[in-house]
């Protein structure tokens, strides 16, 4: 089992390479004249935030949460509600809405965290299959809740623009590339926070509790509260993803909370390599691109995706990152020597 502490060096290299690709992508898109690439990459980055946050409880905490899309949905609905009230000069409980990034984004994250606190407090009383089913059921409950919401007669809402950054930044999120970089910054920042968390005593206790809860209790720590804290932080990360998602798609609807979204997030985490933080980012990219590619090949792409998932589970247990890390030889060293030789030539 990946425990998050092994082979961290190669993992850091993979993370840096991913970051370089992420930074260079808009430039590449201009170069090959494929502006759609930035939109696709934004989608990957946004979903990656949710996948990384899920990894915190799934990979490190060992808790199969099947309702993570609920937190994504909450973040998105916070943006939608703020936008709706602001646009229609309406109020809700005395609040007249907002499109301000500095207000609405933290609000979405906070609400998601609070809901995670409530759901986690009840769900964590159970283990195993029970936990899976209960997180799913709670997410479903929220799904029905938002489905009954009406934005002037409709259960979904198209936004007529994105959240606004303060003027002094000089940044306009309606610009596709600007928004992409902001989303990327969110992903990098959140992943970095998580990486501190999992190496800190808090994260190590969490992982030890996953391996052997009985031993951890005999050592004087009931891991439940650590798990709940991780669940709340993961919920906040889901909320951040949702805030970004609503802005990226300029759309908010119940579909964000649908149960298969939660399933897809789990797929991203496991496909990429769980308990690694970097893996879920790769998983998000892989799944989004796979869907994109398969959808071009056949309308019935899910008939391929289903068995692919099955096979991945059966045969590539450590995910894509696991495969990369299992590559033979010191490929990073070889790359460095190759670069050194080239720069020596000049």
Partner 1 sequence: MSTALFIEQSLNGFQLGVMLFLMAAGLTLVFGIMDLINLAHGSFYMVGAYLAATFARWLDHFLLGVLLALPAAALVGLIVDRVALRTLYRRDHLDQVLATFGLILFFNELVRLIWGPVPIPFDPPELLSGTVEVWPGVGYPAFRLAIIAVGLGVALGLWLLITRTRLGMRIRAGASNREMVTALGVNVPTLFTLVFALGAALAALAGAMRGPILAVEVGMGEEILILTFVVIVIGGIGSIRGALVGSLLVGLVDTFGRALLPDLFALMLHDASAASSVGASAASMSIYVLMAVVLAFRPRGLFPAHG
Partner 2 sequence: MSDPLLSLRDVGRSFGALAAVDGVDLDVAAGTLHALIGPNGAGKTTLVNLIDGALKADRGQIRFAGRPIVHLPDHARARLGLARTYQITSIFPASSVRDNVLVAVVAASGRTWRMWRPMVRDTAACDRAMALLADVGLAEHAERPAGTLAHGQQRQLEIAMALAAAPRLLLLDEPMAGMGPEESADMVERLRDLKTRHTILLVEHDMDAVFALADVVTVLVSGRVLMTGAPDDVRTDEGVRQAYLGTGEDAA
Q: Can you give the binding site for partner 1, defined by CB under 8 A?
A: 58, 64, 66, 122, 125-126, 128-130, 132-134, 136-138, 140-141, 144-145, 147-150, 259-260, 263, 266-267, 270, 300-303, 305-310, 312-314, 317
- Residue 7 contacts which entry, partner 2, partner 1, none (Cβ below 5-8 A, type-dependent): none
Closest CA to 105 of 18, 190, 191, 23: 190
- Residue 87 contacts which entry, partner 1, partner 2, none (Cβ below 5-8 A, type-dependent): none
- Residue 144 contacts which entry, partner 1, partner 2, none (Cβ below 5-8 A, type-dependent): partner 1
- Residue 205 contacts which entry, partner 2, partner 1, none (Cβ below 5-8 A, type-dependent): partner 2
**Count of CB atoms situated within 10 Å of the CB of 194:** 22
Stretch that binds partner 2, among 85-93, 128-136, 144-152, 200-208 (CB under 8 A): 200-208
Q: Choose which of 219, 326, 327, 335 interacts with partner 2 (CB under 8 A).
A: 219
- Residue 3 contacts which entry, partner 1, partner 2, none (Cβ below 5-8 A, type-dependent): partner 2
Query: Are 108 and 79 spatial neighbours (Cβ–Cβ below 8 Å)?
Result: yes
**Count of CB atoms situated within 10 Å of the CB of 251:** 16
Q: Choose which of 131, 202, 251, 301 interacts with partner 2 (CB under 8 A).
A: 202
Q: Choose which of 220, 328, 329, 333 interacts with partner 2 (CB under 8 A).
A: 220
CA distance 81 to 252: 9
3-state secondary structure the chain: CCCCCCCHHHHHHHHHHHHHHHHHHHHHHHHCCCCHHHHHHHHHHHHHHHHHHHHHHHHHCCCCCCCCHHHHHHHHHHHHHHHHHHHHCCCECCECCCCEHHHHHHHHHHHHHHHHHHHHHHHCCCCHHHHHHHHHHHHHHHHHHHHCCCECCECCEECCCCCECCHHHCCCCCCHHHHHHHHHHHHHHHHHHHHHHHHCHHHHHHHHHHHCHHHHHHCCCCCHHHHHHHHHHHHHHHHHHHHHHHHHHCEECHHHHCHHHHHHHHHHHHHHCCCCCHHHHHHHHHHHHHHHHHHHHCCCCHHHHHHHHHHHHHHCCCHHHHHHHCCCCCHHHHHHHHHHHHHHHC
- Residue 111 contacts which entry, partner 1, partner 2, none (Cβ below 5-8 A, type-dependent): none
Q: Looking up tokens 């290299």, which residue turns up?
A: 13
217 makes contact with partner 2 (CB under 8 A): yes
Number of chain residues interacting with partner 2 (CB under 8 A) = 27
Closest CB to partner 1 among residues 9, 225:
225
Interface residues for partner 2 in 4-33 (CB under 8 A)?
A: 5
127 makes contact with partner 2 (CB under 8 A): no
Closest CB to partner 2 among residues 196, 336:
196
211 makes contact with partner 2 (CB under 8 A): yes
Minimum distance from CB of 102 to partner 1 (Å)?
Answer: 31
Minimum distance from CB of 313 to partner 2 (Å)?
Answer: 20
- x/- site string to partner 2, residues 177 to 196, per CB under 8 A? -------------------x
- Residue 303 contacts which entry, partner 2, partner 1, none (Cβ below 5-8 A, type-dependent): partner 1
The contact set with partner 2 (CB under 8 A) reads 1, 3, 5, 196-197, 199-205, 207-208, 211-212, 214-222, 226, 229
């Amino acid at each position: 089992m990946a425990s998050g502490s092994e082979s961290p060096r190669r993992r850091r290299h993979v993370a840096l390479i991913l970051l370089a690709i992420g930074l260079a992508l808009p430039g590449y898109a201009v170069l090959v004249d494929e502006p759609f690439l930035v939109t696709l990459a934004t989608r990957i980055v946004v979903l990656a935030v949710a996948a990384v946050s899920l990894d915190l409880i799934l990979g490190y905490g060992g808790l199969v949460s099947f309702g993570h899309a609920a937190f994504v949905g909450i973040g998105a609905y916070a943006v939608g509600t703020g936008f709706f009230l602001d646009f229609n000069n309406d109020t809700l409980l005395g609040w007249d809405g907002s499109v301000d990034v500095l207000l609405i984004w933290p609000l979405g994250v906070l609400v998601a965290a609070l809901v995670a606190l409530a759901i986690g407090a009840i769900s964590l009383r159970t283990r195993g299959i029970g936990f899976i089913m209960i997180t799913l059921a709670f997410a479903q409950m929220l799904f029905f809740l938002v489905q009954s919401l009406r934005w002037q007669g409709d259960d979904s809402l198209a936004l007529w623009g994105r959240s606004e950054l303060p003027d002094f930044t000089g940044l306009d999120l309606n610009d596709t590339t600007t928004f992409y970089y902001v989303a990327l910054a969110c992903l990098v920042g959140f992943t970095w926070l998580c990486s501190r968390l999992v190496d800190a005593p808090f994260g190590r206790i969490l992982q030890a509790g996953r391996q052997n809860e009985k031993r951890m209790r005999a050592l004087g720590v009931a891991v439940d509260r650590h798990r709940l804290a991780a669940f709340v932080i993961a919920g906040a990360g889901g909320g951040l993803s949702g805030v970004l998602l609503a802005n990226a798609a300029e759309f908010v609807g119940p579909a964000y909370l649908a149960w298969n979204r939660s399933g897809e997030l789990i797929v991203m985490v496991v496909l990429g390599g769980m308990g690694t933080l970097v893996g879920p980012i790769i998983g998000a990219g892989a799944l989004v691109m796979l869907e994109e590619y398969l959808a071009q090949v056949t309308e019935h792409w899910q008939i391929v995706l289903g068995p692919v998932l099955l096979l991945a589970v059966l045969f590539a247990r450590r995910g894509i990152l696991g495969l990369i890390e299992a590559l033979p030889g010191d490929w990073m060293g070889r790359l460095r020597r190759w670069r050194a030789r080239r720069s020596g030539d000049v």
